[in-house]
Amino acid sequence: MNVLLLGSGGREHALAWKLAQSPKVTQLYAAPGNPGMAECAKCLALDAGDHGAVATFCEANSIALVVIGPEAPLVDGLADSLRENDIAVFGPSKAAAQLEGSKGFTKDLCMRADIPTAKYVRADTLEAAISALDGFSAPFVLKADGLAAGKGVVIAEKKEEALAALQGIFAGEFGEAGASVVIEEFLEGEEASFFAITDGTNILPFGSAQDHKRVGEGDTGPNTGGMGAYSPAPVLTPELQSTVMAQIIEPTVEAMRAEGMPYSGVLYAGLMLTSEGPKLIEYNCRFGDPECQVLMMRLESDLAEIMLACASGELAGVEAKFSKNTALTVVMAANGYPATPEKGGVIDLGKAEAEGAKIFHAGTKTQDGKLIANGGRVLNVTGMGSNVSEAQATTYKAVKAVDFPSGFYRSDIGWREVAREKA
């Protein structure tokens, strides 16, 4: 079959790499793709915002499956437009993508379905938000309701900071995303991510991961999209995964179906492992980036088969087999990231992949025959090992073999788990 994959980051390179390994895939197209994806897919310019153009391309090229990588086209309803044209899609409908597109929607669903999550209040005006603050104590957790490119969450230690943040949100700091806010209780614990693929009825657990969101060593400094990740996350023990399935994932899928918004695609749960058990921090309606890269390294099953089964509502009986080994990815970012990444820095990958790692391109382009940086997160160097320490050693050997003078990386990805392995 012919497959069209939409997106251009490291997540999509990892998906493309895995899809291209499937004997079922005749031709893989990627739009817009990136230089790394060009090795396994035909890259082309296609605007995901132009639903008609995507549908026309699919019809002209006998596309049997469209895989939508990022959240924006999902929240924008691209999956609905394609399904109206009888095109199979991996990714949720606009209504179902509200699980990522509106934090308030998800919190209300958790209330209705009795899913463990932080206590919260929604507010649509600055006045209502300020008076709601009285019901909470520091640290205050404030969230713009809509999509804010990962920047819409503020954790304020003091009430004055919280008030200033609320003023900023209602003054339009996050645009439309901040027309409404969620104020919630601060949860204590360790964070972990859990993934499940569902066709709306059947659910296929799809692995765990932990990422490092802060830009600096030791998890300090500003938040980023993620500076590195590893999978599996040993803190999410098989027992905890069963609890997450029973108390969080299954009731969510059930409630979405019962309420006429069946969720189809990958459900990515951001969890806090609290002393009272796992609680949902947030849902994403797509794979994590860079969590997807480590999941794909470990996946032994045919991704195209799983995605097509999901898109066709035929996930019953389908299994996902993962390597028991650990995969770890290190993000090489452009200097200045996350604020103002420097574009255009020259990259020489040399023989880095010969060091036993796979390099996924996240923000690169080719210019005058050279590979250059074209985004904040530029490369995802990904290696495997029998545990996190070994995977970390393999990965950093390859990272050091990459020549990227205008870039930087964190040298401690996986530190928490490495410390536990040594203990």
User: What are the residues binding ligand AMP (CB under 6 A)?
Assistant: 118, 141, 150, 153, 184, 186-187, 191, 213, 270, 281-282
Asked if residue 6 lies in contact with residue 76, where contact means CB atoms within 8 angstroms, the answer is: no
| Lookup: tokens for 407 | 């870039």
Q: Which is nearer to ligand AMP, 212 or 361 (CB)?
A: 212
| Residue 382: count of CB within 10 angstroms of its CB | 28
Q: C-beta of 104: minimal distance to ligand AMP in Å?
A: 13
Q: At what angle do helices 291-298 and 10-20 cross, to 10 degrees?
A: 20
Decide which of ligand GLY, ligand AMP, none touches 289; Cβ closer than 5 to 8 Å per partner kind. ligand GLY
Q: Say which DSSP state 168 is in.
A: H
Q: Which long-range contacts (CB under 8 A, 24 or more apart) does 416-420 make?
A: 416/190, 416/210, 417/210, 417/230, 417/233, 417/234, 417/387, 417/388, 418/388, 418/389, 418/392, 420/234
Task: Give contact residues for ligand GLY (rule: CB under 6 A).
Answer: 211, 225-226, 284, 288-289, 291
Q: Which is nearer to ligand GLY, 284 or 394 (CB)?
A: 284
Q: C-beta of 415: minimal distance to ligand AMP in Å?
A: 16
Distance between CA atoms of 412 and 160, rounded to whole angstroms?
34
**Helices in 211-290 by DSSP H: which ranges?**
238-244, 250-258
Q: C-beta of 23: minimal distance to ligand GLY in Å?
A: 29
Q: C-beta of 194: minimal distance to ligand AMP in Å?
A: 14
Decide which of ligand GLY, ligand AMP, none touches 234; Cβ closer than 5 to 8 Å per partner kind. none
Q: Which is nearer to ligand AMP, 35 or 150 (CB)?
A: 150
Q: Which is nearer to ligand AMP, 155 or 346 (CB)?
A: 155
Q: C-beta of 243: minimal distance to ligand GLY in Å?
A: 22
Q: C-beta of 261: minimal distance to ligand GLY in Å?
A: 22
Q: Which is nearer to ligand AMP, 44 or 138 (CB)?
A: 138
| Longest pairwise C-alpha distance within the chain | 59
Decide which of ligand AMP, ligand GLY, none touches 211; Cβ closer than 5 to 8 Å per partner kind. ligand GLY
**Helices in 61-171 by DSSP H: which ranges?**
71-75, 78-84, 98-101, 103-113, 126-133, 159-170
Q: C-beta of 182: minimal distance to ligand GLY in Å?
A: 17
Decide which of ligand GLY, ligand AMP, none touches 187; Cβ closer than 5 to 8 Å per partner kind. ligand AMP
Decide which of ligand AMP, ligand GLY, none touches 145; Cβ closer than 5 to 8 Å per partner kind. none
| Residue 316: count of CB within 10 angstroms of its CB | 10
Helix/strand/coil for 41: coil
Q: Which is nearer to ligand GLY, 211 or 412 (CB)?
A: 211
Q: C-beta of 168: minimal distance to ligand GLY in Å?
A: 22
Distance between CA atoms of 287 and 277, rounded to whole angstroms?
24
Alpha-carbon separation of residue 240 from 6, 12, 252, 316 (angstroms):
33, 29, 17, 23
| Chain residue at closest Cβ approach to ligand GLY | 226
Decide which of ligand AMP, ligand GLY, none touches 291; Cβ closer than 5 to 8 Å per partner kind. ligand GLY
Decide which of ligand GLY, ligand AMP, none touches 116; Cβ closer than 5 to 8 Å per partner kind. none
Single-letter residue type at 106: T
For the chain, the straight-line distance linking the first and the last C-alpha, in angstroms and rounded, comes to 49
Q: Which is nearer to ligand GLY, 269 or 308 (CB)?
A: 269
Q: Which is nearer to ligand AMP, 10 or 225 (CB)?
A: 225
Contacts of 39 (CB under 8 A, 6+ apart): none
